[in-house]
Structure formats: structure tokens, C-alpha cells
Amino acid sequence: MSLFHRLVAGVAVLLLIFSIGIFAINVHYARQSLLDSQRMETSNMTQGLSLALVQFIEKGDWTSVRTLMQATSDGSFIDTLKLEAVGLEKPLVVQNPGTTLAPDWFQALISLPRLSNQREISGGWSPLGTIMLEADNSLPYNQLWKLGLSLLLWLVIGMALTLVVCALGFRRLLSPLHRLSHYLETLQIEGYAQPVASTRVQELQGITLAVNRLSARLNDQFEAQTAQVIRLQRMAEQDAVSKLGNRAYLTRILDEWLAAPEGGALVILRIDHLAEIYRRDGFVARDDTIRAIGTYLTSMNVQALPIQSARLSAEEFALILPDVSDARREELLVTLLDRIDDIVDANPLHDERVHHVRAGVMIREPGLQRITILSKADSALREAVETDQRWYVAPRESRHNERSRGDWRMVIEQALSEHRAIFVAQPVILNNGEELHRELFMRLKEGDETHLASSFLPIARHFGIGSQLDRYVLQWLSQHGHDLDCRLAVNLTTDLVGSNDEVDALIEWLRAHPALAARLDIEVTEESVLRYTDNVQRLFRVAWHLEGRGGIDRFARDLNSLPILGRLRPDYVKIDQTFFVRDDVDNEFLHSLCMAAHQIEALVIVTRVESEAQRALVTDIGADGYQGYLAPAVTLAPEVH
């Protein structure tokens, strides 16, 4: 119960106790007054009736006696009159009970004694008889009931008005505390924002100041930690002249690229003219040219994605192109090589463009390893140099058995339409042995063959139908997710995260399945975070409100995402093990990366852990858990499918 509700409830209880006291006191005094009045009237009525009956009793006129007794009891507060007199064989009784509006529970709660009075009828030396009068309580009960209703009505109205006034007053008085609470919630979810406004409430001024100082200090600490990670990463993976990545950087991004379900091509550039610049103009001119090339490659992007590039040697550069059509790749290569030719030899007096750059292109194929693709790209570069071509594309190894992208798309759509998708779940294990969740992976059946996600996800991404796969997964979860007794993680495609309508539909799905959303972890890739930060933030907020969690997969491929961590506040980040198992990277850099994630209370999970030695290494660095071959994926029970 909130403080506001507690205060209002406390005031309501006090008002109720106060009202009960007022009600009891007023009813008590009214009851006592009615009893005193009834007692006096009973006594006077008994005395007057005893005098009036003397003459009729002496004459023995019992008809007149009855008439007088009935007239006396009519319209008065008398319930019973009883006369015992000389000459009467049996007592003369006249009854006139009244009716009351007061309910039985009210009469039981406020009891009124039935008053009675008795007088002897004097007849000289000896009494003529006795008259007894018993009062009727109907009229006092009616008066008390009317008084109680009026008093109760005014007390209820007074309590309601008082509660409304108190609620408005409390809400106004607590508004600084509400702002402070909302600020702390925002600080926890979104990170540091503007300082909360000060308040005139003296008791909260110190708290507000302390919260502002603490949030600013945490933000400064996170920014300092982030800056240290970036500085250490540049020391370990950045070429000093071009400001591009070095060989260590290329090794890491190649391993991560080949492990991810993505397409694309590796391009190695050779610029022999750089040696001519060095011989002719010296190393300063050569370094300026290299810096210009690095600036251009850094600014180059395809489909709103920056191109990952590195400098391999004095005259060679490498870059990874995203998955595009063959025609689009040729356009990119022409633009790229023309621009670098202009940088290394911008001479407007030349009638024809002089080609100084040669390129070797190796299109990614399933199953390729880093050494293989580097070797093939280097062979393609030598072929381009020897045959004097601007670029040469290495032939595919299994081109005669290769399916076209259109055929792959038909396989995907047919498998989904015929519900020939199966699911496996791979656990994520924390260092203490607990299970964080199980990540759900889809596989497609085609006859007796099973296609892994790495085979069809690049095709889905190329055609922009990744959201179709995501919708199928969500539909499957809505039907079978309640049969699974574990926490699940779903990795969303960039196609879904990049569409506002798809994100809105996913949010509605989460709200329609709150029990399932409470044990569901929403994962997005770092690429989705960088391109669609607002949509990712919306998804994470809804997941948190439904007691779910949000995570970032393939994290730290681009360290520009580190500052966004403070805004998104994910529950965990997943980093590829290639980040941790290299010998050419200082452990301080890896430890700082983990500390930066821990600054925002995010767990660090290392993926593709293949051995106990790697697991021990990532634990020593400061990671919180692992995912990989040590905890292999488990096929879900057949009855679930």
C-alpha cells in the first residue's frame, strides 16, 4: 500500500472512530432524555387516571370505566392499562400496542426499558382498587431511529468531504515525494536524466539534494568507466595512424561475423601507390593519406549500417560488406575504389582515371572459418593484381550444389505454412550454477533434412521477412509456451524491431499474455539497438512492467553502443567468446567492459564457450555466466510440438 493510501486510510479510520463516538454520545443523551420524559408522563398519567376513575368505581359504572381507559390509551404512549377494583371479578385490561419504524437490530443495539407505574385508587378509609400503566416504547424508538438516520447521514457527508479535502491535501503535499519516486524509477530504467526539481518541503530538501548528487555521481562514474573501456579498446584494437581497427580487431569481428547468422563479403584492398607517396613525399604525406582513407572508410555505410574496416599492413586494408545483391555490391566497389583512388592521387590534369587500388572479394559461404576466408580473399587480391583487374571475386566452393536465394525463400515460407518448424532451447548458466533462461532457436524441416538458423536467417534478412519468423515464434509460444516449465529467451530480428507496427503488435501480444511475458526474456542484437533505440526502449519498458526482462545479444561489436547502455538499462548483455579468449588483448580491457555493464546492474553472458578452460577464463575476467557447447541445446519434448 502506498504512503498516500496509508494516510487516507488512517484519516478514514480516525474519522470513523470519531463519528462512532459522536453517534454514541448523541444517541445516549437522546435516549436518556426520552426515558426521563416518558417516566414523568407515565407517573402523571397514572395519578390523573386514578383520580378520574374514583366516581365511576364508586357507582359501579364499569362501562364508563372501560370507555375512560380506552380514551386515555388512544393516541398516547400507553401500551397496557390494567385495573383491579372492588366489585370486579377479574382485572379490566385495555391494550393499545403501537408500531415502530426502527428495525430489530437497532432496538437490540439501543435497548429501552419498558416503564410501568402503579397507583392505588383512594376511596375514603379504604382503597377502591389499583390502576397499573405500562408505557409503549414505539414512539421513543421512532424518535431515536429518525435521530440516528439524520446523524448518520450528516456524519457520512462530513466524512466524505473531509476525506476528499484530505486526499487533495495529501496529494499536493506528497507531490514532491511522487516526483522524487518517479525520478528514481526513471533513473533505474533509463539512466541519468535532468536533476529533480527542488521542493519547499523542508524534510524532502535534503533527500532531493542527495538523490541529485548520487545520480550525477553514478552517471559520471558510468561515463568514466565507458570512456576507459573505449580507451583500452583503442589501445588494443585500433591502428594509430588510420584510426581504423588493427589485425586484432579484424580477427575478432571476423570470428563474430562468421558465428552470426549473417551474409556479406570480406574485401581486402591493396594500395601500392602509398609506397610511391612515401618515396616521393615522405612518411608525413603517406600518413596523412592513410588518415584520409581511414576517415572515409569510417564514414562509409550501407543500408544505414557502418562498414567494419581494419588496416592490415602498410598498404592493405580489410572491410566487411553487408549482405546485398551482386549488382549492388559492384556499385559499392566502384564507389569505394574510385573514392580511394581520388584520395591517393587527386590530379585534375589526368584525362583518364588512374586505378591505384586493387581488391579481392570473398563472399561468405556456410561453414567458412576465419583462416579460410582470409586465405581466399588474399588469393582473390593476388588474382586481381596479376590480371590487372580492379577487383576479383573468389569463386564459390560448391556453386553447382548451391541454392539460389529465391529457392531458400520458398523453403522458408513453405516450412512455416506447413508448420514444419521445430524448436530447441539452449540454457544460459550463471557462475553459481543457476539457470538464467533457455534461449529458443528455430529449425526448419525439409524432408529428412533439418536446416539450422544459420542457414536460413541470412536469407530472411536479405528479403526482409525476419518479422514473419518472429510472428511464427510468438504464435507457437502462445500455443505451447505454457507447457514449458522454464524461463525462455526470444531473439528478435532487426526486421521486427525496425517496424513500428510490428513492435506495437508485439507489445499487444505481451499484454495479452501476461503470465507468459513474466517468464520471457526479450533479446535484440546490438545492431537493432544502434539503429532503432526508441523501439528497443519501448519493448524493454513493457517487458519490465510485465515482470519480463530485456537483453542485448552480440554486444560490444561496436563500442559506440556502450553509452546507450545507460539509457536502455538491459538486464543482461551477451558477448561473443572471441572477445575473451584472445591472447593479444589486455585483461584490463575485458575487465573494464564487464565493469561497465555491471555499473547499470546488467549481467555479462559469454556465448559460444567451448571448453572448461574458456569458462574459467571468462569467470576470472568478471563475466556472470556462459552459453555454449558446455551446455548444449536441448530439443523440446515431441508433445510440445
Set out the domains of the chain in order of their start, with CATH numbers: 3-160 (3.30.450), 240-346+355-393 (3.30.70.270), 405-635 (3.20.20.450)
Which range is most confident: 343-347, 395-399, 635-639? 343-347
User: In this structure, are strands 78-85 and 92-95 parallel, antiparallel, or unpaired?
Assistant: antiparallel
32-36, 72-76, 343-347: the lowest-pLDDT one: 72-76
Q: How far out from the chain centre does Cα 404 lie?
A: 42
Per residue in 483-527, pLDDT (tens digit) is 888 899 999 999 999 999 999 999 999 999 999 999 999 999 988
Per residue in 73-86, pLDDT (tens digit) is 776 677 787 877 77
Rounded Cα distance between 420 and 198, Å, is 60
Structural contact between residues 32 and 137, judged by C-beta atoms closer than 8 angstroms: no
Per residue in 441-457, pLDDT (tens digit) is 999 988 888 888 888 88
Per residue in 9-21, pLDDT (tens digit) is 888 888 888 888 8
- pLDDT (mean) for 578-587: 67
Helix (H) or strand (E) holding 47: helix 3-52
pLDDT for 400 equals 42
Of 553, 545, 606, the closest CA to residue 188 belongs to 545
- Alpha helix locations (H) across 425-532? 453-463, 466-480, 494-497, 500-512, 514-517, 526-531
Rounded Cα distance between 538 and 536, Å, is 5
User: In this structure, are strands 308-311 and 305-306 parallel, antiparallel, or unpaired?
Assistant: unpaired
What spatial distance separates the first Cα and last Cα of the chain, rounded to whole Å? 43
Higher pLDDT, 473 or 209: 473
Contacts 24+ apart (CB under 8 A), 11-16: 11/162, 11/163, 11/166, 12/159, 12/163, 15/158, 15/159, 15/162, 15/163, 16/159
Using the structure block, give the residue that is written with the C-alpha cell 529428412: 448
Of 239, 26, 2, the closest CA to residue 153 belongs to 26
pLDDT for 402 equals 64
> What percent of the chain is modeled with pLDDT above 90?
23
SS3 93: strand
- The DSSP output letter for 432 is T
